[in-house]
Amino acid sequence: MKLLVVANWKMNPQSLVEAKSLFKSISRGLKDIKKRNLEVVVCPPFLYLSILGTSTSARRGASYGGLTLGSQDCFWEGKGAFTGEISPLMLRNLDCQYVILGHSERRRYIPETDENINKKITAVLKSKLNPIFCIGETQGEKNGGKTQKVLSSQIRKGLKGIVKKEIKKVVFAYEPVWAIGTGNPCLPVEGKRVIDFIRKTVAKIYDRKISEKISILYGGSVNSQNAAPYIFEAGFQGLLVGGASLDAREFIRLIKNIALY
C-alpha cells in the first residue's frame, strides 16, 4: 500500500515569497529520497495553489517537482452564490488531487458539523478528487472513555450515502485533538488500537475486504523524531503533518525517516 505524507500548511506562510521558497525547498529535498511507494502532498492556503502549481513545469495531473497539490478545505457545491467559498471543481482545475475535510480546527472554530462534512465528501468524490477525512476525539472525550463512540459517530455520519465503489478513494486521518499542537502525541500502541477500531467500523458499514484496503493516516504533533513508530509500529499508511511541514529541513528529515516503508 502506498505511503502518503500530507503537509497541511494551515494559515501559513504569510507571504507568497515564503510560500514559493518553502515549496521549492521541499521539492529539492525530495530528489534524494526514493519515492517508489511514497506520495507527498502539499496543502497550502487557497490563494497560493494556482501560483505554486504553475511555478514548476509539469503535465496536467502530474506531480509538481515531486509534490502533489492538495487543498485544506472546499465547499459542497460546484458553483453558485456562496460568497468566499471554493468549489471542488475549481480545485480540480488547479490540478489538486486531495482535499482535507473535517479537520479538528475547522470542527472547533467554524464550527463544521458532521452533516456538512458529509456533503463535502460527497461533492469531492463527485468531482473525482480524493478526500482526506479527519476524525478524532478531544481530551475530555478521551478521559471520559468516549473515544470509540466519538470516532464511530464521526465515521458513520461522514460516510452517509457514500457507496462501496467510492469509499476506496477516501483517505482517513486520525488526529486526536488532545495531541495537536500540544507536544503530547498519541502513543503508537494507542494509534494501533484506533486503526483496528476504524477498520472494524468501516467493515460494519461496508465489508471486511474494503476495510482492509482503506488508508489511515496519523496527525497530531508529529515530527521527524516520532514519525517512524507511527508507520513501523502502529501501522498507519501515512502522516498528516502540520507545524513540522513549515520547516523544509525538518519535513524532509521526517520523510527520510519513514521512506524505508
| Residues 77, 85: Cα–Cα separation, whole Å | 9
The answer to whether the pTM exceeds 0.75 is: yes
Q: What is the pLDDT of residues 137-162, one digit of tens each?
A: 999 999 999 999 999 999 999 999 99
2 versus 1: the higher-pLDDT residue is 2
Show the cell assigned to 60.
496536467
- Candidate list 112, 137, 141, 175, residue with the active-site label: 175
Residue 5: beta bridge partners? 40, 239
Q: What is the pLDDT of residues 101-128, one digit of tens each?
A: 999 999 999 999 999 999 999 999 999 9
175 is catalytic: yes
Beta carbons of 82 and 120 less than 8 angstroms apart: no
Q: Identify which of 165, 166, 250, 254 has the alpha carbon closest to the alpha carbon of residue 218.
A: 254
Rounded to the nearest 10 degrees, how much is the dihedral formed by the CA atoms of 72, 77, 80, 81?
-70
Beta carbons of 15 and 21 less than 8 angstroms apart: no
Is residue 257 pLDDT above 90, yes or no? yes
The DSSP code for 174 is E
| Domain range summary for the chain, segments of one domain joined by + | 3-258
- Candidate list 18, 77, 103, 105, residue with the active-site label: 103
Q: Identify which of 28, 84, 90 has the alpha carbon closest to the alpha carbon of residue 249.
A: 28
Q: What is the pLDDT of residues 26-52, one digit of tens each?
A: 999 998 887 678 999 999 999 999 999
Per-residue confidence (pLDDT) for residue 191, from 0 to 100: 97
Q: What is the CATH number of domain 3-258?
A: 3.20.20.70
% pLDDT > 90, the chain:
87
Average pLDDT, the chain: 93
Q: For residue 201, count other CB atoms closer than 10 A to its CB.
A: 21
Is residue 59 pLDDT above 90, yes or no? no
Per-residue confidence (pLDDT) for residue 61, from 0 to 100: 45
103 is catalytic: yes
Q: What is the pLDDT of residues 164-196, one digit of tens each?
A: 999 999 999 999 999 887 767 799 999 999 999
Exposure on the CB side of residue 240, measured as CA atoms within 13 A: 34
DSSP string covering 81-127, please? S-TT---HHHHHHTT--EEEES-HHHHHHS---HHHHHHHHHHHHHT
Show the cell assigned to 81.
452564490
Q: Identify which of 35, 22, 86 has the alpha carbon closest to the alpha carbon of residue 63.
A: 35
- Average pLDDT for residues 193-208, to the nearest whole number? 98
